[in-house]
């Protein structure tokens, strides 16, 4: 019985669904050795900071991360002053004030990330009728998880001959139907990393994917740490209970 409970607990602690959405393709995904995978997996904070830079300078023009607060950036290595500076670049609508009016103020650390568009209709108008999805949970919402996002960013190619392409669409071998409304968002040297890392297409794709894996599960390291501690506790408890069992029943053998 204890073994069954232990197995169930480990399954719930160390696994989470990646197939909430359909992102099937007949092309095998580009598998990566992500540092955050596995029981002892941890995020690479340097990669997360590079990925945040890519998101801020490239992705944030169309895609939001509404489930993340600015203060959460402290978990990936930013100081309070740096976070205040980042948040201060944006404005939010707040209120009402004492006169009952809404007002605009600079964003604070406690605010959620400011959305790129005021509402969905404006977003669709700016993107030929297509609504850019929020990226907060995109890694967990697509089958294949981080490997799918990484593959998608590297899957843009020219349309094959005799392919019936729709107007305004781009070919991506990893996207369902192989047509996607979003053009390739990244290229070599599209950003300049503060730590001197060479901003190649592959590096940018890997770093921004890591960042989106973090936005999907910022509590991952805490959860895994708790899981490991609980695992050791259950093992110790099992050994103690086996010792008690042997002592109680030894005279009846």
The pLDDT of residue 106 is 95
The pLDDT of residue 1 is 47
Helix 201-216 / helix 145-153 crossing angle, nearest 10 deg = 150
Residue 157's alpha-carbon distances to 147, 175, 176, in angstroms, are 18, 12, 14
20-65+131-216: CATH architecture: Orthogonal Bundle (1.10)
The pLDDT of residue 247 is 80
**Helix, coil or strand: residue 110:** coil
Per DSSP, the residues of 161-220 read TT--PPTT-EEBTTSGGGEESSPP---TTSS--TT-----HHHHHHHHHHHHHHHH-TTH
pTM value is 0.84
- Residue 218 makes CB contacts below 8 A (sequence gap 6+) with 68, 72, 75
Per-residue pLDDT 10s for the chain (253 aa) are 444 444 444 444 444 444 434 445 678 999 999 999 988 899 999 999 999 999 999 999 999 999 999 999 999 999 999 999 999 999 999 988 888 889 999 999 999 999 999 999 999 999 988 999 999 999 999 999 999 999 999 999 999 999 999 988 999 999 999 999 999 999 999 999 999 999 999 999 999 999 999 999 999 999 888 887 888 888 898 898 888 888 888 776 5
The pLDDT of residue 22 is 40
Distance CA 239, CA 245 (A): 10
Distance CA 126, CA 110 (A): 29
Distance CA 191, CA 208 (A): 12
Write down the domain spans for the chain: 1-16+221-253, 20-65+131-216
| Cα angle 246-250-253, degrees, rounded to a multiple of 5 | 120
């Amino acid at each position: 019985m204890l073994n069954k409970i232990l197995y169930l607990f480990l399954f719930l602690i160390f696994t989470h669904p990646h197939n909430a959405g359909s992102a099937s393709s007949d092309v095998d995904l580009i598998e990566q050795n992500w540092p955050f995978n596995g029981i002892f997996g941890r995020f690479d904070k340097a990669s997360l900071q590079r990925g945040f830079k890519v998101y801020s300078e490239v992705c944030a023009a169309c895609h939001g991360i509404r489930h993340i607060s600015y203060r959460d950036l402290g978990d990936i290595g930013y100081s309070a002053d740096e976070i205040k500076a980042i948040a201060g670049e944006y404005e939010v609508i707040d209120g009402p004030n004492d006169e009952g009016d809404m007002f605009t103020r600079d964003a604070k650390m406690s605010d959620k990330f400011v959305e790129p568009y005021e509402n969905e209709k404006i977003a669709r108008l700016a993107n030929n009728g297509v609504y850019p999805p929020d990226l907060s949970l995109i890694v967990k919402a697509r089958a294949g998880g981080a490997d799918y996002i990484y593959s998608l960013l590297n899957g843009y190619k020219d349309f094959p001959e005799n392919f019936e392409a729709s107007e305004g669409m781009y070919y991506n071998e990893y996207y369902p139907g192989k047509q996607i409304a979003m053009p390739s968002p990244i290229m070599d040297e599209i950003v300049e990393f503060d730590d001197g890392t060479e901003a190649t297409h592959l590096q940018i794709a890997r770093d921004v994917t890591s960042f989106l894996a973090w936005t999907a599960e910022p509590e991952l390291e805490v959860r895994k740490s708790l899981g490991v501690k609980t695992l050791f506790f259950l093992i110790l408890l099992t050994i103690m209970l086996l010792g008690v069992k042997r002592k109680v029943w030894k005279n009846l053998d």
